[in-house]
Amino acid sequence: METSLLADIVALFLLSIVVTLACKRFRLPTTVGFLLTGVLCGPSLLGVVNDHETIDQVAELGVAMLLFTIGMELSGDALSRLKRPVFLGGSLQIGLTVLAVTGIFLLQGVSWQKGVFWGCLAALSSSAIVLRIMQERGSTCTPTGRLSLAILVFQDIMIAPMLLAVPLLAGTLQLSLQDALLNCLWVALSLGAVLLAAHFGLDRLMEAVMGSRSREILLLTTLGLCMGMALLTSALGLSLSLVAFLAGLLLARSQYSMSVISGILPYRDVFMSLFFISVGMMLNVGYLGGHFFYILLMTGLFVVIKSLLCLPSVLIQGYPLRAAVVTSLSLAQVGEFSFVLAASGLSAGLLGMDDYQTFLAVSVLTMMLTPGLMSVAPRLADRLALRWGRAPLPAAGEACGGECALQDHLIIIGFGISGQHLAHVARESGITYTILEMNPETVRRYRHSEPITQGDATQPVVLEHLGVDRARVMAIIISDPSAVRAICQEARAMNPDLHIVARTRFVSEVAPLIRLGASEVVAEEFETSIEVFSRVLTHYLAPRQDIEAYAARIRQKNYRMIRHMRREAGSLDAMASRLADMGVQAMRLEEASPLCGRTLAQSGLRPRFDVTVVAIQRGEAMTAAPGPHDALQAGDIVYLFGRTSRLYAVQPFFSGPLKEDVGEVQA
């Protein structure tokens, strides 16, 4: 490596540290910090970097690595479900954008060739920025995240045809239909051969690499597969990042995919940082200052028009207005591959130098605005959906025998793997339930086997048709944090007695959801930590009672925190919040339990475990506040009141005898 290039990279990294830390103090995303670093280092300001071309080439690897890891995180089933959004949503988004921009240029007396070219520039969005922000916020698996990914994938697919069309639009290349078909066939055959070879030989290669137990070989193999396949197929005119995405999909089939991801993430983050810096370096600050208000106006118009043109591509697939608004605002920026396309158009004469600088300024500004747009998108979408949204309503008789039959039922919001498990358990337990899912593909798949309907649960009219005012429990099992908060608030306002169980990814989301009305919040981060240490201790042959005691103590501490976060409520709720670490638990009495046939006085539950029996259900009969002479029988549902830790401790006693001699339990 030349000393000058090394000095440039060191200067970029040191300056990016200072700028990013300053952005963090103002709560700005790191992406904005990297873009501002590029602006400062660019030739129009400090002029720190001399070798721009090499930096751009290195930065392109970051985009390829990002798409590579995204592809590895997708399963085959997930990609199969994205076929419709990719080809229908993506083609409609690009088609509408190109047609609209071409129409605007024709009205201004500009040739249709330039209109089509500018339409292609505007149609592309930034995979690097959007997917990076979604990964940081954990929204990649939400419906809007999947829709955005699908449209971005189709845009990457269309980069090669757009680049091939530039000389045709400029009139510098005469290509017959036969030559075009032959070139497309050659690309398809070459790509198919590469993918076929990888499909049959990849598993054996990864097994050999993992058998070496060398992390260095694993990393070299990963980089070799990613970059090698990308470079090989990019020679055919395909997008470097698109082929890296396909390589990631192939490697995702391997059982060692997680090891590969953990090894490549640090390198991906470094190269991605260089990419954002290189984009900021393109901005000519002098030109921006001289045409500030014009560029600002063009940036605002671009964001509004592109967002509006993206709406139909989501709405036509059956998604509600809220999902369409969030997806459209997430894609309302210029894509990184638009720079490559613009450079090609500049050399072909489709762009003048002033037009090129205007395009660069608008592009960088839209990229800088993207984190803010994605932050305000959910709130803006909620307002628009509440005012103009027309969400599909559950059909009468489709859920649990008709809307009027819904009483004391369970509402399941989201029908992913967690929702499917909950529905199965509810069906086995005889609990009446209804399901709401926003993804129309999922609804079509399960509509004949489940009481499922399609709609947006953030809208009060949808919750009303689900019978939320008569429901007993609502389980919110979706991955969109802003939607979970909105649903909690609306459902609590419509039914103050509703028990709301919400799922979230991070513990930091627990407090806001509790304040908005959630009764219980299950944080995946928290529950995963308990499962991890339970399995570790099990492997070390720790006694099961000790493991359960540790888990009970941690959960007890968490429950205390949740109770302190609860809002002030009336009478019973306020009293329960002051009873720290207390709760009610229902337990089934098994035949092997020594409690069978004993009276409450003989059971010793209160003196031994510090728990009180508050009710006994036997069949359809319920005995409230049973006396000391009431006997327990196998199959009884016993409701116990006491501290959370004691309730966990007494559970094994209802299934069978403990190690201690049961006969020594005194009345």
Domains of the chain: which residue ranges?
3-388, 393-504, 522-580, 582-664
Mean pLDDT of the chain: 78
| Residue 405 falls in which region: left (phi positive, over 0), alpha (psi -120 to 50) or beta | alpha
At position 313, the amino acid (one-letter code) is: S
The 10s digit of each residue's pLDDT in 569-590 is 444 444 444 455 677 888 888 8
> Which pLDDT score, from 0 to 100, does residue 204 have?
73
> Which pLDDT score, from 0 to 100, does residue 152 have?
87
For the segment 108-137, the average pLDDT, to the nearest whole number, is 86
* Contact between 273 and 98 (Cβ < 8 Å): no
The 10s digit of each residue's pLDDT in 593-630 is 888 988 988 888 888 888 899 999 988 888 888 988 88
CA distance 308 to 63: 27
Q: Is the pLDDT of residue 14 over 80?
A: yes
> Which pLDDT score, from 0 to 100, does residue 331 have?
92
CA 315 to chain centre: 20
Q: Which two tokens stand for residue 379?
A: 């709130």
* Residue 24 C-beta-side C-alpha neighbours within 13 Å: 7
Name the one residue in this structure whose structure tokens are 């980069």.
159
* DSSP code string of 307-325: HHHHHHHHHTTT--HHHHH
Percent of the chain past pLDDT 90, that is, above it, reads 11
The 10s digit of each residue's pLDDT in 136-195 is 776 776 778 888 888 888 887 787 678 768 877 877 666 566 666 776 676 667 667 766
Q: Is the pLDDT of residue 393 over 50?
A: no
> Which pLDDT score, from 0 to 100, does residue 199 have?
63
Q: Is the pLDDT of residue 523 over 60?
A: yes
At position 330, the amino acid (one-letter code) is: S
At position 517, the amino acid (one-letter code) is: G
How confident is residue 394, by pLDDT bands cut at 50, 70 and 90? very low
At position 573, the amino acid (one-letter code) is: D
> Which pLDDT score, from 0 to 100, does residue 59 have?
65
| 3-388 CATH, one of 3.30.1370.60, 3.30.70.790, 1.20.1530.20, 3.90.1200.10 | 1.20.1530.20
> Which pLDDT score, from 0 to 100, does residue 50 have?
65
Alpha-carbon separation of residue 497 from 129, 249, 311, 493 (angstroms): 42, 46, 37, 10
For the segment 370-397, the average pLDDT, to the nearest whole number, is 70
How confident is residue 118, by pLDDT bands cut at 50, 70 and 90? very high
For the segment 26-34, the average pLDDT, to the nearest whole number, is 76
Q: Is the pLDDT of residue 206 over 90?
A: no
For the segment 625-648, the average pLDDT, to the nearest whole number, is 86
More confident residue, 582 or 433: 433
Residues listed for the chain: 667
Lowest mean pLDDT among 357-371, 563-577, 607-621, 629-643: 563-577
> Which pLDDT score, from 0 to 100, does residue 445 have?
85
* Contact between 457 and 489 (Cβ < 8 Å): no
> Which pLDDT score, from 0 to 100, does residue 295 have?
92
CA distance 127 to 241: 9
Q: Is the pLDDT of residue 472 over 50?
A: yes
CA distance 223 to 579: 57
CA distance 481 to 44: 41
Q: Which two tokens stand for residue 655?
A: 């299934």
> Which pLDDT score, from 0 to 100, does residue 434 have?
92
Q: Is the pLDDT of residue 2 over 60?
A: no
Q: Is the pLDDT of residue 290 over 80?
A: yes
> Which pLDDT score, from 0 to 100, does residue 94 have?
92
- Hey, what CATH topology would domain 582-664 get? Alpha-Beta Plaits (3.30.70)
More confident residue, 565 or 475: 475
Q: Is the pLDDT of residue 274 over 80?
A: no
Q: Is the pLDDT of residue 302 over 90?
A: yes
For the segment 512-520, the average pLDDT, to the nearest whole number, is 87
* Contact between 639 and 583 (Cβ < 8 Å): no
Q: Which two tokens stand for residue 205?
A: 């290669």
CA distance 447 to 237: 43
> Which pLDDT score, from 0 to 100, does residue 3 have?
58
More confident residue, 104 or 340: 104
Q: Is the pLDDT of residue 375 over 80?
A: yes
**In 3D, which of 56, 60, 65, 62 has the Cα closest to residue 244?**
65
* Contact between 92 and 312 (Cβ < 8 Å): yes
Provide the strand spans (E) within 276-343.
none
Name the one residue in this structure whose structure tokens are 């790191």.
30
What is the pTM assigned to this prediction? 0.62
How confident is residue 443, by pLDDT bands cut at 50, 70 and 90? confident
Lowest mean pLDDT among 80-89, 260-269, 306-315: 260-269
**In 3D, which of 135, 136, 99, 91 has the Cα closest to residue 119?**
99
> Cα angle at 489 between 484 and 495, to 5 degrees?
120
**In 3D, which of 439, 520, 531 has the Cα closest to residue 484?**
520
Question: What is the radius of gyration, based on Cα positions, of the chain?
Answer: 30
> Which pLDDT score, from 0 to 100, does residue 300 have?
92
At position 352, the amino acid (one-letter code) is: G
How confident is residue 501, by pLDDT bands cut at 50, 70 and 90? very high
3-state secondary structure of 213: coil
CATH no. of 393-504: 3.40.50.720
Q: Please give, one letter per residue, the 3-state secondary structure of 426-464.
A: HHHCCCCEEEEECCHHHHHHHCCCCCEEECCCCCHHHHH
